[in-house]
């Protein structure tokens, strides 16, 4: 199965700073790379995803970069705001064989 690791496990930044979370995976057949945000007591929400034929994708303040050779992808949040505070999960997957395997999560705290 897929082994997924996220770093760091916790991240505290000042409002307006950037935050970067890295996800490493083991299955070289993985072809879909989403990031989910989960606020306390709520459901995970898909915030951005990327497929294996693309190296980078951006959506306003959020971007994802993929390095398939090194088997890692990263979430970048710029101009952080207090409402970005949440737990972020990566979930790389080989969509032809498996379902999403979630990392252990990164707790992001944005200090106002």
Partner 1 sequence: NAGVMQNPRHLVRRRGQEARLRCSPMKGHSHVYWYRQLPEEGLKFMVYLQKENIIDESGMPKERFSAEFPKEGPSILRIQQVVRGDSAAYFCASSPGPGGTEAFFGQGTRLTVV
Write out the two tokens for 67: 């390095």
CA dihedral 38, 44, 48, 49 (to 10 degrees): 130
| 53 lies in the binding site for partner 1 (CB under 8 A) | no
Q: Which residues contact 17 (CB under 8 A, 6 or more apart)?
A: 80
User: Under the criterion CB under 8 A, does residue 14 sit at the interface with partner 1?
Assistant: no
Per CB under 8 A, the list member of 45, 67, 81, 111 interacting with partner 1 is 45
Interface of this chain with partner 1, residues 83 to 112, rule: CB under 8 A: 89, 91, 93-105
Residues near partner 1 (CB under 8 A) are 1, 32, 34, 42-46, 49, 89, 91, 93-105
């Amino acid at each position: 199965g897929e082994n997924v690791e996220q770093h760091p496990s916790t991240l505290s930044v000042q409002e307006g700073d950037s935050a970067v979370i890295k996800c490493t995976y083991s299955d070289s057949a993985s072809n879909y790379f989403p990031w989910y945000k989960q606020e306390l007591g709520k459901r995970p929400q898909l915030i951005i995803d990327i497929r294996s034929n693309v190296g980078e994708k951006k959506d306003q303040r959020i971007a994802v970069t993929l390095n398939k050779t090194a088997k890692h992808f990263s979430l970048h949040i710029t101009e952080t705001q207090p409402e970005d505070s949440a737990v972020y999960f990566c979930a790389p997957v080989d969509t032809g064989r498996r379902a999403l395997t979630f990392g252990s999560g990164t707790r992001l705290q944005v200090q106002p």
